[in-house]
Structure 1
Amino acid sequence: MHRHRMKINDLTISYIDEGSGDTVVLIHGFCGSAGYFEKIIPELSEHYRVIAPSLRGHGKSSAVCDPYTIEDMASDVYQLLKQLELEKVTMVGHSLGGYVTLAFAEQYPDMLNGYSLLHSTAFPDSEEAKEGRNKNIELICENGIEPLINALIPKLFAPKHVKTLEDEVEHVREIGMNTSVTGAKGALKAMRDRMDRNEVLKNSKVPILLIAGEDDQIIPSEKVFSQSTPFIRTKTIKDAGHMGMLEAQEEVIATIEEFLNVTFPTK
């Protein structure tokens, strides 16, 4: 798999670049990396160019200590795509990556043929969720990244998969453990302070795909399917938690490819 690094302002962004043709951009979730998509990139790249960046402070992308926002992370992705001389893409954002995708759709709508939220939501954090973010910031400041990852892993997968998908669970654990404390803190603050983007979903005039996991313990389907318009299609992945691309790999690939056939109709 072809991995690259690109300098963007004061950051170095790591990304996977596979395949050729119309471009799909995959954006991972919190304490993840481009490695979240390693199982689905080979099949998607048979027909498309696939770009999968690691967000700032995640994977092998550098971190910044200053506070930053979801909009800043969307700008990182935009700058990467511009340097790659890409004019139009379809974007798929997982969890945190979905928040980034919605910010991208708001700031750079002309660059999108369509977009998908994979186990993500347009809603902002509730007050309870914000308090949870603050507690996690305190946790990693005092004890490092390991206790956060150990607490997060069981919630990412459907309960039955924590034991039956041991290799996938370990893969996600290893990626999480490589997240910098600075990156995790910055992302927690950015997620805590993000805005409600239901209006972005409601007003978008490009194809949108909302994908929920039937057994998602982090973002239930009612929060994923927050809007209904003629441009929005929905899909529930059975027997999947928050990591459908690992728990139900073939179904997620088929769902994304069907959507890409809509956003790239000449394919």
Structure 2
Amino acid sequence: MIVKFKETAVFYTDTGKGSCVVLLHGFLENSTMWNAVVEEVSKRNRVVCIDLLGHGNTGCIGYIHSMEEMAMTVKAVLKELKIRKATFVGHSMGGYVALAFAEKYPKSIKGICLMNSTSQADSEERNKLRLRAKEMAKKNYETLVKMSIANLFAENMRLVLSKEIEKVRVEALKIPVRGYIAATEGMRLRENKEIVLQAIDKRLMIAGKQDPILNYKIVEDEAKRTNTPLIELPNGHMSHIEAKNELLKVLTEFVKS
């Protein structure tokens, strides 16, 4: 299904009945990453998945897709569906968007799960990496994407999950260079949302012990600082692939609580 936001088509799916759960994908992903989660969670809930700006079947609206602008596209979908409140699960960039949504529309939030994500702004090192990636995207996009996808997985899982990694690469390469750059800039410029996270009564963080993108110790410290429950999984950045069964149990419990 499609809703228009700033004259751009925003793609979403709407499955099941009950309390609403919104699933937001990460960078270089799209709503199909949630297929297994939708199948399970929609048995008792209404599940909405959205292709964020420049990803999947949703177009670009500019050269910077801020997390706030992406949150506004989510609001447009929920308004179309007449959904007033929802529980959000955001993977990586999807977590940043969920927090931006919570800041803009606090009354629409039942709870938030940050999955392989953080409420922190980019570190100086991460900021520099994003700037380098942005420049490389203009010159050698395919190589950049292929390399980036492999680096999301725990090192010991890359050979075991080679077929799954290739599928993720195929989906990622459908994203236009403009979409890559706009999202990269949006993530790079985002601000710390720790206070926003703390203000949400129902909250959870899920982190991979071997996540090559988000250092587990830093996430653990953030969880302690914000008094947010933290679930540790024995994987990298891609919990929905590397620890699918464990993740499904955790998300089912979170949505139910």
Structure-2 residue corresponding to 1:68: 65
Post-superposition offset of 1:223: 3.2
**Aligned AA (2:170):** E
**Aligned AA (2:209):** E
Which structure 1 residue ranges, 4+ long, deviate > 3 Å from structure 2? Answer: 227-231
Contact kept, 8 Å, 2:3 with 2:76, in 1: the verdict is: no
Structure-2 residue corresponding to 1:172: 168
Contact kept, 8 Å, 1:158 with 1:217, in 2: the verdict is: yes
Please give the per-residue CA displacement for 1:228-247, whole angstroms capped at 9, x wherever unaligned.
47972210012x11010111
Structure-1 residue corresponding to 2:87: 90
- Give the TM-score normalised by structure 2: 0.95
Partner of 1:148: helix, strand, or coil?
Answer: helix
Number of equivalenced pairs: 256
What is the aligned counterpart of 1:214 among 209, 212, 216?
Answer: 209
What is the aligned counterpart of 1:77 among 66, 74, 79?
Answer: 74
Instruction: Give the distance between the partners of 1:186 and 1:208, measured in 2 at CA.
Output: 28
Instruction: Give the distance between the partners of 1:48 and 1:113, measured in 2 at CA.
Output: 13
Instruction: Give the distance between the partners of 1:205 and 1:94, measured in 2 at CA.
Output: 18
Instruction: Give the distance between the partners of 2:40 and 2:256, measured in 1 at CA.
Output: 14
Q: Give the alignment of 1:93-242 within 5 angstroms.
A: 93-144=90-141, 146-202=142-198, 204-225=199-220, 226-228=222-224, 232-238=228-234, 240-242=235-237
Query: CA 1:248–1:227 in structure 2 vs 1: closer, same or farther (change >3 Å)?
Result: closer
Contact kept, 8 Å, 2:63 with 2:181, in 1: the verdict is: no
**Aligned AA (1:176):** A
Post-superposition offset of 1:49: 1.2
Structure 2 residue ranges without an equivalent (≥5)? none
Partner of 1:184: helix, strand, or coil?
Answer: helix
Instruction: Give the distance between the partners of 1:15 and 1:116, measured in 2 at CA.
Output: 20
Instruction: Give the distance between the partners of 2:87 and 2:61, measured in 1 at CA.
Output: 28
**Aligned AA (2:146):** N
CA RMSD in angstroms comes to 1.5
In percent, how many aligned pairs have the same letter? 34
Post-superposition offset of 1:227: 3.7
Query: CA 1:133–1:211 in structure 2 vs 1: closer, same or farther (change >3 Å)?
Result: same
Instruction: Give the distance between the partners of 2:59 and 2:79, measured in 1 at CA.
Output: 19
Query: CA 1:158–1:35 in structure 2 vs 1: closer, same or farther (change >3 Å)?
Result: same
Contact kept, 8 Å, 2:206 with 2:230, in 1: the verdict is: yes
Within the alignment, does 1:45 sit opposite 2:42 as a pair? yes
